[in-house]
C-alpha cells in the first residue's frame, strides 16, 4: 500500500496564522466551542477569510476524492494528554474544534448526530479501553475496515474531515477512491441494485435498537462526475444476498484494497475526504493509554445540491437517527 501519496494543499505561515487567529477570537468571544452562538457566527466569520485561505479550503475536486490541508501547527505540550475516552475530553483542544468548524463551514454545513458523542459537531477520536476490537473510531488492535462514514444513514455527510492533533506512532489512515478502481461493468450493474441493508455501527447504540425493518440500499450509484459509493462491509449482512451479488461485492473489496493508500497524518494536518467517493479506515496499532496515543478531531459536512445519491434515499427511516445542522437550513 503506498504511503502518503494524497494530494496536499499547503497553507503558508500567514494563512495558517489567519485561520487560527479567527478561531481563537471566536472561542474567546463565545467561551466554548460547543456554544450555539459560536456555531451561528461561523458563516460570517468565514466570510472574513482571505481569498488565499478560501481557495485552499475549497471542497475536494479530483478523482482521488481527498486531500490533506497542511501548514497548521499544534503545540503538543500545550495540548495536554490524550484522553482515554471522548466523554472525558472537556475543552481540551477546543481551539482545534473551532479551526475544524471554520474549515467545515467553508465547504458546506457542519452536521452532528443526536445519538453520537452527545450531539457534538466535532468528535474526538481516541483509543479507549474496552473498545480495542470494535469497528469504531475508539478501536486500536484491529484494522478499521474501509467504510463510508455513517453509511447506514441517508443524511450522512458528503465530506468527512479529520484533524490530527497527535500521532507520535505514525499510524496511517487508509483511503480508497471508487473512481480509481477498474471494476467490471457487470459487477457495477449488480452493485447498483438495492439487495441488502447497511446496519448502524456500534457507535449508535440507540439506532441499533430501532424497531423498523432495515431497507436494502445500493452499493454503487452513477453520478454525473462518476461512480459514487455507499459501503460498510462490517455492518452489511452479506449472507442475505445472492451468490452473484456477493461475488461482485468481493471483487469491489479487492479493487478498493488494490487502490488503497495509507495517509500518514502529522499534527495540524486536516484530511478532507469525499464521503461519496472514498472509503476510509485505519491500520491496527497498540494503544498505551498513557496520554501519548493518537488523537484526531472529526467533523462531518453536508454540501447542498450534490447529485451523488439515489433519490430513493429520501424515503429511508435512518434507524430513527436525526442529523443536526450547525444553523437552521
Tens-place pLDDT, residues 185-198: 999 999 999 999 99
Residue ranges of the binding site for Fe cation: 147, 149, 280
Q: Do residues 132 and 46 make contact, with C-beta atoms less than 8 angstroms apart?
A: no
Residue ranges of the binding site: 147, 149, 173, 280, 294, 298
State which H helix or E strand residue 79 sits in: helix 76-79
Look at residue 329 in the predicted model and tell me its pLDDT: 63
Q: Do residues 318 and 204 make contact, with C-beta atoms less than 8 angstroms apart?
A: no
Residue ranges of the binding site for 2-oxoglutarate: 173, 294, 298
Q: Is the dihedral of CA 155, 159, 165, 168 positive or negative?
A: positive
Evaluate whether residue 1 is within a structural domain.
no
Evaluate whether residue 2 is within a structural domain.
no
Evaluate whether residue 183 is within a structural domain.
yes
CA 151, CA 156: separation in Å to the nearest integer? 7
Q: Do residues 221 and 166 make contact, with C-beta atoms less than 8 angstroms apart?
A: no
Evaluate whether residue 306 is within a structural domain.
yes
Evaluate whether residue 18 is within a structural domain.
yes
CA 83, CA 236: separation in Å to the nearest integer? 31
Binning the chain into helix, strand and coil, the percentages to the nearest 5 are 30, 20, 50
The CATH number linked to 177 is 3.60.130.10
Task: Name every residue whose Cβ is closer than 8 Å to that of residue 109 and which is 6 or more positions away in sequence.
Answer: 301, 302, 303, 304, 325, 326, 327, 329
Number of domains in the chain: 1
10-residue mean pLDDT series, the chain (329 residues): 69 97 97 95 96 94 93 95 90 95 97 90 94 86 92 96 97 96 98 97 90 94 94 96 98 97 96 97 94 96 89 93 86
Residue 296 in 3-state DSSP?
strand
* pTM (2 d.p.): 0.95
Residue 252 in 3-state DSSP?
helix
* Domain housing 235: 8-325
Look at residue 57 in the predicted model and tell me its pLDDT: 95
Look at residue 243 in the predicted model and tell me its pLDDT: 98
Evaluate whether residue 210 is within a structural domain.
yes
CA 111, CA 101: separation in Å to the nearest integer? 10
Look at residue 235 in the predicted model and tell me its pLDDT: 96
Evaluate whether residue 95 is within a structural domain.
yes
Look at residue 5 in the predicted model and tell me its pLDDT: 64
Evaluate whether residue 222 is within a structural domain.
yes
Nearest to 165 by CA among 228, 92, 90, 273: 92
Cell of 195: 439487495
Residues forming a β-bridge with 163 = 270, 297
Cell of 276: 461519496
Amino acid at each position: 500500500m503506498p504511503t502518503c501519496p494524497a494530494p496536499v494543499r499547503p497553507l503558508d505561515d500567514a494563512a495558517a496564522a489567519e485561520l487560527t487567529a479567527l478561531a481563537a477570537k471566536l472561542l474567546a468571544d463565545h467561551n466554548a466551542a460547543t456554544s450555539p452562538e459560536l456555531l451561528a457566527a461561523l458563516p460570517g466569520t468565514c466570510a472574513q477569510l482571505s481569498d488565499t485561505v478560501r481557495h485552499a479550503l475549497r471542497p475536494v475536486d479530483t478523482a482521488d476524492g481527498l486531500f490533506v490541508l497542511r501548514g497548521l501547527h499544534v503545540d503538543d505540550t500545550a495540548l495536554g494528554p490524550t484522553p482515554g475516552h471522548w466523554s472525558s475530553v472537556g475543552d481540551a483542544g477546543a481551539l482545534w474544534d473551532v479551526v475544524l468548524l471554520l474549515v467545515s463551514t467553508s465547504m458546506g454545513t457542519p452536521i452532528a448526530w443526536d445519538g453520537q458523542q452527545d450531539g457534538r459537531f466535532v468528535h474526538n477520536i481516541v483509543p479507549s479501553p474496552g473498545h480495542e476490537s470494535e469497528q469504531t473510531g475508539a478501536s486500536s488492535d484491529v484494522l478499521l475496515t474501509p467504510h463510508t462514514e455513517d453509511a447506514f444513514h441517508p443524511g450522512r455527510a458528503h465530506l468527512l474531515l479529520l484533524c490530527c492533533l497527535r500521532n507520535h506512532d505514525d499510524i496511517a489512515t487508509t483511503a480508497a477512491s471508487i473512481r480509481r478502481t477498474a471494476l467490471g461493468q457487470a459487477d457495477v450493474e449488480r452493485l447498483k441494485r438495492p439487495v441488502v441493508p447497511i446496519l448502524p455501527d456500534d457507535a449508535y447504540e440507540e439506532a441499533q435498537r430501532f424497531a423498523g425493518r432495515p431497507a436494502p440500499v445500493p452499493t454503487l450509484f452513477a453520478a454525473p462526475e462518476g461512480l459514487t459509493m455507499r459501503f460498510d462491509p462490517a455492518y452489511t449482512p452479506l449472507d442475505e444476498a445472492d451468490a452473484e451479488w456477493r461475488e461482485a461485492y468481493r471483487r469491489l473489496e479487492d479493487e478498493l484494497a488494490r487502490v488503497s493508500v495509507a495517509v500518514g497524518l502529522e499534527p495540524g494536518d486536516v484530511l478532507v475526504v469525499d464521503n461519496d467517493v472514498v472509503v476510509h479506515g485505519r491500520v491496527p496499532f497498540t494503544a498505551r493509554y498513557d496520554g501519548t496515543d493518537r488523537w484526531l478531531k472529526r467533523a462531518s459536512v453536508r454540501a447542498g445540491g450534490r447529485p451523488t445519491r439515489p433519490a430513493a434515499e429520501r424515503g429511508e427511516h435512518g434507524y430513527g437517527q436525526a442529523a443536526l445542522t450547525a444553523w437552521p437550513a
